[in-house]
């Protein structure tokens, strides 16, 4: 089957365009993490256990202590492709109209291709938002869709960083010990990281239950106050006095994934993280088969150094002949420091 790149917008220009499509503001996770490129399409997991060691005093002429090395283990996982295409759209409508009237307007055709590429790029960005939420939910990227079954990338979040309340779930606002739970869990986080967390992340549902929890209300207003809730400002002030990080804005983003509206992160979760997600995770972009096709094509000025990252092309294939806009990527979220993520299922 022949593949021809001869559209009104070249593959180089369309790829440059897709790589500069800004993410929508409501993609909070995707916007908060950095991107890195990877020419090998393999991710090496080197989990380094860093400890806050010190040097040792010694007597004059005494022996010098030998510091222990940080331990680590390495494994690799192959990255997975993520693509979207459109073969019936504004471009095809304009092509048919121009053929019928024997007219032409390359500017209109080019705009239509750019519009399609922008939509398809945003679809990929939304899928990565969903993948980031998946990783923040349990420390594992799990994919079962579109013929890819049973893919898992486990980033090694420690077992004691995946917890639930020892007593009542937080939906029981009278007996749940929210502040007690937070203090207990954060102590585990500090031991693992040598520093406090920078943020508590959760849904509006969980945050509302925290603000109406009796233990929290009593800690802020006193047990005889008669109050039924605390403000978020008062809640975060209480947490600060207890050495706990603040609750950041609740996150409840949903996407349409394969025809179903799904939450990016389930609304029963809570996470301790650094202040910025970019401090411990990122999105890794690999090299697609489409990019390699462009590298080997004499029709496109595209070198291997340009290959890693999202790619946009308009292809004419056949026979039978058809033309479509195609945006292709190899991309997935990666946790760089698994100990920096702490996940509680509180409901």
Angle at 266 between CA 261 and CA 269, to 5 degrees: 165
- d(CA 46, CA 336) in angstroms, rounded, equals 9
Task: Strands of the chain (E only): list them.
Answer: 2-4, 35-37, 42-49, 71-78, 81-86, 140-145, 148-154, 162-163, 199-202, 254-257, 260-263, 269-273, 281-285, 311-318, 322-335, 342-345
- Total length of the chain: 347
The pLDDT value given to residue 1: 36
In 3D space, the residue among 79, 12, 347 whose CA is nearest the CA of residue 213 turns out to be 347
- φ, ψ (nearest 5 deg) of residue 215: -60, -40
Crossing angle for the helix pair 106-138 and 90-101, to the nearest 10 degrees: 170
Instruction: Single out the residue of 337, 278, 338, 287 nearest to residue 34, CA to CA.
Output: 278
Fold classification of 2-48+76-156+281-334 is putative capsid protein of prophage fold (3.15.30)
Q: Cα–Cα distances in Å, from 7 out to 4, 95, 113, 263, 323?
A: 9, 11, 9, 38, 9
Non-local CB neighbours of 314 within 8 Å, separated by 6+ positions: 5, 7, 9, 11, 14, 91, 113, 323, 324, 325, 326
Q: How high is the pLDDT of residue 345?
A: 98
Q: What pTM, to 2 d.p., does this model score?
A: 0.86
- pLDDT of 15 reads 85
CA angle, 220 then 226 then 230, to 5°: 35
pLDDT recorded at residue 69: 44
Query: How confident is the model at residue 70, as a pLDDT?
Result: 41
From first to last of the 347 residues of the chain, give the pLDDT tens digit.
Answer: 334 445 566 667 888 889 999 999 999 999 999 999 988 888 776 543 344 455 555 665 655 555 454 433 445 677 888 877 766 455 556 665 655 556 666 666 667 778 888 988 999 999 999 999 999 999 999 998 888 888 888 898 999 999 999 999 999 999 999 999 999 999 999 999 999 999 999 999 999 999 999 999 999 999 999 999 999 999 999 999 999 999 999 999 999 998 999 999 999 999 999 999 999 999 999 998 888 888 887 666 777 888 899 988 887 766 666 677 888 899 999 999 999 999 999 99
Residue 86: predicted pLDDT: 67
**pLDDT at residue 74 in the model:** 46
Please check whether residue 332 is in contact with residue 284, taking contact to mean a CB–CB distance below 8 angstroms. Answer: yes
Task: From 99, 93, 130, select the one nearest 115 (Cα to Cα).
Answer: 93
pLDDT at 149: 84
Furthest C-alpha separation in the chain: 96
Tell me which H or E stretch contains 73: strand 71-78
* In the chain, domain spans: 2-48+76-156+281-334
CB 176 within 8 A of CB 215: yes
Q: What is the predicted pLDDT for the residue at 148?
A: 84
Q: How big, in percent rounded to 5, are the helix, strand and coil portions of the chain?
A: 35, 25, 40
User: What pLDDT sits at residue 26?
Assistant: 95
């Amino acid at each position: 089957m022949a593949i021809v790149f001869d559209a009104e917008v070249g593959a180089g220009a369309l790829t440059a365009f897709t790589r500069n499509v800004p993410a929508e503001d409501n993609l909070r996770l995707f916007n908060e993490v950095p991107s890195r490129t990877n020419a090998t399409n393999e991710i090496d997991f080197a989990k380094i256990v860093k400890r806050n060691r010190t040097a040792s005093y010694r007597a004059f002429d005494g022996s010098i202590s030998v510091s222990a090395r940080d331990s680590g283990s390495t494994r690799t996982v192959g990255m997975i492709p993520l693509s979207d295409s459109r073969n019936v759209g504004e471009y095809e409508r304009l092509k048919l109209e121009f053929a019928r009237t024997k007219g032409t307007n390359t500017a209109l055709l080019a705009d239509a291709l750019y519009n399609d590429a922008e939509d398809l790029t945003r679809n990929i960005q939304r899928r990565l938002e969903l993948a980031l939420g998946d990783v923040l939910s349990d420390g594992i990227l799990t994919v079962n869709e579109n013929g890819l079954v049973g893919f898992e990338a486990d980033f090694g979040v420690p077992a004691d960083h995946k917890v639930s309340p020892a007593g009542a779930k937080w939906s029981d606002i009278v007996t749940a010990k929210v502040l007690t739970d937070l203090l207990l869990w954060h102590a585990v986080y500090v031991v693992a990281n040598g520093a406090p967390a920078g943020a508590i992340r959760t849904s509006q549902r969980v945050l509302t239950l925290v603000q109406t929890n009796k233990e929290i209300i009593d800690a802020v207003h006193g047990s005889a106050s008669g109050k039924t809730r605390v403000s978020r400002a008062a809640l975060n002030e209480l947490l600060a006095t207890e050495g706990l990080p603040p609750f950041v804005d609740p996150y409840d983003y949903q996407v349409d994934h394969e025809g179903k509206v799904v939450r990016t992160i389930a609304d029963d979760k809570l996470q301790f993280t650094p202040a910025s997600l970019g401090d411990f995770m990122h999105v890794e972009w690999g090299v697609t088969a489409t990019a390699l096709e462009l590298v080997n094509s004499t029709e496109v000025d595209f070198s291997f150094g340009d290959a890693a990252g999202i790619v946009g092309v308009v292809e004419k294939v056949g026979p039978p002949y058809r033309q479509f806009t195609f945006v292709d990527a190899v991309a997935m979220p990666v946790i760089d420091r698994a100990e920096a993520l702490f996940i509680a299922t509180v409901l």
